[in-house]
Amino acid sequence: MSDAKEHDRRHVWHPFTQMRAWDAGDPVVIVEGEGALLRDAEGRVYLDGNSSIWTNLHGHRRAELDDAIRAQLGRVAHTSFLGLTNDVAPEFARELLQAFTRSDEPEGWRVFFSDDGSTAVEAGVKMIHQARQQRGETERTVFFSLAAGYHGDTVGAMSVGHSAVFHGAYRGLMFPTREVMQPACYRCPHNRAQPERGVDARVSRKCAWECVGEVERALDAAGGTASAFVVEPRVQGAGSMSMHPHGWLARVAELCRARGVWLMLDEVMTGFGRTGAMFAAHHEDVVPDVVALGKGITGGYLPLAATIASAEIFAAFLGEFAEMKTFFHGHSYSGNQLGCAVARASLRLLHGGHSMEHVRGRAAVLEKLAQRFWRHPNVGDVRCEGMICAVELVEDFATRSRFPFAQRTGHRVCEAARAHGLLTRCVGDMLVLMPPYCVTDDQLAKAADALWRALGEILPL
């Protein structure tokens, strides 16, 4: 397997990776997986601590998912969705809408298929903009989104994000959007409580919902030019793993609805049970106008994404051919049969063995194990939401001051964790544990222990 490393060094360009350092290193070559575990070319076994970058829900080599792909391969792998349909994508669309709307007859809603989370967001942004124009609401062009937001790396998705690290080099390509204060309790500039060990910042401070007031003022300032608000519900993933106070989403949804502003939810990471509900919006009974889905949609097996649109938005695209109201957007692999077949199998597992009750049970164990990190003096906050756990590292607990970016503190901890059998990836100096739903109590305990030991090696107690 040494050839793989050499070919990688000579021929591959990795995402989000400084290649000078990468080419000088010794990469882990993954060759096999089973359940929550991965094995490399040297025979070492690791727990998949970030679900293969937040995609894998049920574990690797899951029989039900493997079988769904094999069965579909026995018929056809892919045919065009432009001017044709197939017998898999429409069934998945119906089942997906039933799960999202929690209705057996989800009339009016539509599913637009694409390839990944970024393209799902891109499609949603374009749908909203074109729908406004075709409804005669030409003045409604302004999109709002949260500070530190990240919604993908295509140009439209970057434009509704506000990440200096990820998008700073591309500002000249992006269209302007309005940035709104993120509801990040640990670093909230309003009424900040003193740091308190062992207590999530979301419940440790008295809150007057200033963050909601900021959204209200921003929407009112834009007036009739406001088109849509784009947000990851409950948890901003790459946006610093910020976890929102419960109730914020419902309040913001109400503000949007009252002003005719469409709400677009990016559930690329939070969808399909990751927060303990099938979709994060379900926690607060919020019904958006558009929702973008990706990552776990196929259980982590194949690239597939979906953008769900309300009946109101879909209606804006209906007309005579000559009216040019068609949604002029698409992808070669839209409605891919293999992806939709395995996505249907994954959805069945989420209604069965990996039900939301099961996920919440796993989440309770993970949250309990995470409490040990409060004992470390360089841990500023420990945040958990469903099967997502983030441990924020700080240089000074009392002041919440961050480590210098160049020190790569979080990265070094994650690299050290590999020696203890854990693969995960940080978000800046936020350590992340986000394992598949099949993970056992023993595996969760070993993962938390591996991260704890790595932390102690990089930042000794």
Catalogue all structural domains in the chain, each as residue range(s) with its CATH number.
2-57+354-458 (3.90.1150.10), 69-350 (3.40.640.10)
**pTM greater than 0.95:** yes
Q: Classify residue 136 by burial, with Cβ atoms within 10 Å: 0-12, 13-18, 19+.
A: exposed
Q: Which residues pair with 389 in a beta bridge?
A: 384, 433
Q: CB under 8 Å to 137, separation ≥6 — which residues?
A: 227
Distance CA 145, CA 166 (A): 16
Q: What is the pLDDT of residues 188-199, one digit of tens each?
A: 988 666 778 887
CB 100 within 8 A of CB 111: no
Predicted pLDDT of residue 194: 72
User: Rounded to the nearest 10 degrees, how much is the dihedral formed by the CA atoms of 348, 438, 39, 24?
Assistant: 90
Q: Classify residue 345 by burial, with Cβ atoms within 10 Å: 0-12, 13-18, 19+.
A: buried
Q: How confident is the model at residue 204 (pLDDT cuts 50, 70, 90)?
A: low
Strand-by-strand arrangement of the 422-423 sheet: 30-34, 37-40, 45-48, 422-423
Q: Is the pLDDT of residue 270 over 90?
A: yes
How far, CA to CA in Å, does 324 sit from each of 56, 159, 316? 40, 26, 11
Predicted pLDDT of residue 207: 85
Q: Which residues pair with 226 in a beta bridge?
A: 142
Q: How confident is the model at residue 205 (pLDDT cuts 50, 70, 90)?
A: low
Q: What is the pLDDT of residues 350-395, one digit of tens each?
A: 999 999 999 999 999 999 999 999 999 999 999 999 999 999 999 9
Predicted pLDDT of residue 2: 67
CA-based angle 459:454:387, to the nearest 5?
A: 115
Q: Is the pLDDT of residue 1 over 60?
A: no
**Hey, what are 62's tokens?**
């899951």
Q: What is the pLDDT of residues 44-71, one digit of tens each?
A: 999 999 999 999 999 999 999 999 999 9
- The contacts found for 369-378 with CB under 8 angstroms, 24 or more apart, are 369/444, 369/445, 369/448, 370/433, 370/448, 371/198, 372/448, 372/452, 373/451, 373/452, 373/455, 374/197, 374/198, 376/452, 376/455, 376/456, 376/459, 376/461, 377/461, 378/455, 378/459
Q: Phi/psi of residue 428, each to 5°? A: 60, -125
Q: Is the pLDDT of residue 246 over 90?
A: yes
What's the one-letter identity of residue 299? G
Q: Phi/psi of residue 335, each to 5°? A: 70, 20
Predicted pLDDT of residue 223: 97
Helices (H) and strands (E) in the chain, counts: 16, 16
Predicted pLDDT of residue 197: 86
Q: What is the pLDDT of residues 310-341, one digit of tens each?
A: 999 999 999 999 999 999 999 999 999 999 99
Cα radius of gyration rounded to whole Å, the chain: 22
CA-based angle 162:165:171, to the nearest 5?
A: 60
Residue 427: DSSP 8-state: B
The overall average pLDDT reported for the chain is 96
Q: CB under 8 Å to 19, separation ≥6 — which residues?
A: 13
CB 34 within 8 A of CB 59: yes
Q: Phi/psi of residue 126, each to 5°? A: -70, -40
Predicted pLDDT of residue 367: 98
Q: CB under 8 Å to 105, separation ≥6 — which residues?
A: none
**Hey, what are 335's tokens?**
């409605």
Strand 262-266 vs strand 242-243: parallel, antiparallel, or unpaired? unpaired
Q: Is the pLDDT of residue 202 over 80?
A: no
Give the DSSP H or E segment for 126.
helix 117-134
Predicted pLDDT of residue 193: 66
CB 172 within 8 A of CB 155: no
